[in-house]
A and B are shown apart, each in its own frame.
Chain A
Amino acid sequence: MSDRKVTSRRISRNVAIAVAVVVGAFFVVLAVSKPRTDTDISTPLLGQPAPEVVSDLVGGGEFDLSRRKGSWVVLNFFNSTCVPCINEHPELVVFDKEQSTLPDGAELVTIVNDDTDDAVAAFFEKNGGGWPKVRDPDGTIAVSFGVARVPETWVIDPAGFVRVRYAGEVTSNELTARINGMKATP
């Protein structure tokens, strides 16, 4: 066999080995990586001043987040047809009830996402929840927070800074424990 053929075979073999290693590494990474299951997710807004939230309330009135400084505020992005939102709702009712009994309890606020006033009003009338429901008809508030899917729950501290972002369903206990923890270690 000529030298040229030997060299050519050697190059082909090395290239094949390199490709096999890359493909193998790719499969290993896919096999080892764990799917994301946590609801407490990151955002560039963590530790930053919360975006402006100024809008009308369902049923009348206005809401301005900057006027809530001094209180812990929990913003819940919601849609009355979203199943996780419906599942989560009883937990929010419990959370709101518990917080309203505390002198420094958090204020729960719903941000209505792509929904009508009538549907939202009917949902809350049926399932309870007397907290403010803020209209977001053009999605400005959702975009400013980077919310694409509901439900999402954001915790804003009394200074107006974003402290926690939850994607998906939350429980009353989880929210309460988290806020109490942050109150204890500001």
Chain B
Amino acid sequence: MSTKQSSLKSWPVWAAMGIIVVVMLVFGALRDSGPSTQAERVDAIAQRLACPTCDGESIYVSRAPAAEAIRNEIARQVAAGQSADNEIVAYIEQRFPGSLLLPRAEGVDSLVWILPVVVLVLGFGGLALAFRKWRDEAEAQATEADVALVAESLGTTESSEKNDRDDD
């Protein structure tokens, strides 16, 4: 069975796997995880914000007074029930610029999210092209000159083997 026939038979499996992965990713990204408690909301928001007085710590992790004060403010706003999570994050980020741990998916910041995907797609695309090119090269047909060269080589070998047998 040739390589092309083999790949033709296996592509539906790969396509099915690809579809399953995409569906799971979409489902995971869009699913509603249900209502969370106020404490969970506070923790989730605190994990999105950097402590303004520490290096490399989130509000959630840090025990610094400024982080505790911000956690208190988040808890107060969550308890008041007047703000969505993003609104609370925006409020803190406005007061403490640069406190967002993850860049927003809008404007120039969105490049942070888009570029890795683009690079990944281009990388896989490049690899696929390279693999195809190597496979085509491996399946290259021998030219007449190649055949003649091999025949000549084989002839030489056969005659030398015959001479060896005659010597024996």
Residues of A within 8 A of B (CB): 44-45, 113-114, 138-140, 142-146, 148-149
Q: Which of A139, A145, A146, A148 contacts B72 (CB 8 A)?
A: A139
**Interface residue count for B (Cβ, 8 Å)?**
15
Give the complex CA separation of A142 and B70 in angstroms: 9
Give the complex CA separation of A90 and B147 in angstroms: 99
Q: Which of B65, B73, B92, B94 contacts A114 (CB 8 A)?
A: B65
Give the complex CA separation of A48 and B68 in angstroms: 26
Verify A142–B94 contact, CB threshold 8 A.
Answer: no
B136 to chain A, nearest CB (A): 15
* Contact of A44 with B96 at beta-carbon distance under 8 Å, contacts A148-B66, A149-B53 already known: no
Q: Which residue of A lies closest to B51 (CB)?
A: A148
Most buried by B among A44, A114, A139, A145: A139
Q: Which residue of B lies closest to A138 (CB)?
A: B72
* Contact of A140 with B69 at beta-carbon distance under 8 Å, contacts A145-B95, A148-B52, A148-B53 already known: yes
Give the complex CA separation of A33 and B72 in angstroms: 36
Give the complex CA separation of A149 and B53 in angstroms: 7
Most buried by A among B73, B76, B95, B96: B95
The 8 A CB mask of B65-101 against A (1 = contact, 0 = none) is 1101110110010000000000000001011110000
Q: Which of B53, B76, B94, B96 contacts A140 (CB 8 A)?
A: B76
Q: Which residue of A lies closest to B92 (CB)?
A: A143
Verify A146–B73 contact, CB threshold 8 A.
Answer: no
* Contact of A142 with B69 at beta-carbon distance under 8 Å, contacts A44-B94, A148-B96 already known: yes
Q: A144-B73, A145-B95 are in contact. List 12 more A-B contacts (CB 8 A).
A: A44-B94, A45-B95, A113-B65, A114-B65, A114-B69, A138-B72, A140-B73, A142-B66, A142-B69, A148-B52, A148-B96, A149-B66
Q: Which residue of B lies closest to A136 (CB)?
A: B69
What is the count of residue pairs linking A and B with beta-carbon distances less than 8 angstroms?
A: 42
Verify A146–B69 contact, CB threshold 8 A.
Answer: no
Verify B96–A139 contact, CB threshold 8 A.
Answer: no
B5 to chain A, nearest CB (A): 31
Verify B53–A143 contact, CB threshold 8 A.
Answer: no
Q: Which of A114, A138, A144 contacts B95 (CB 8 A)?
A: A144
Verify B68–A143 contact, CB threshold 8 A.
Answer: no
Give the complex CA separation of A52 and B131 in angstroms: 65
Verify A138–B53 contact, CB threshold 8 A.
Answer: no
Q: Which residue of A lies closest to B72 (CB)?
A: A138
A residues within 8 A CB of B72? 138-140, 143
Most buried by B among A45, A144, A146: A146
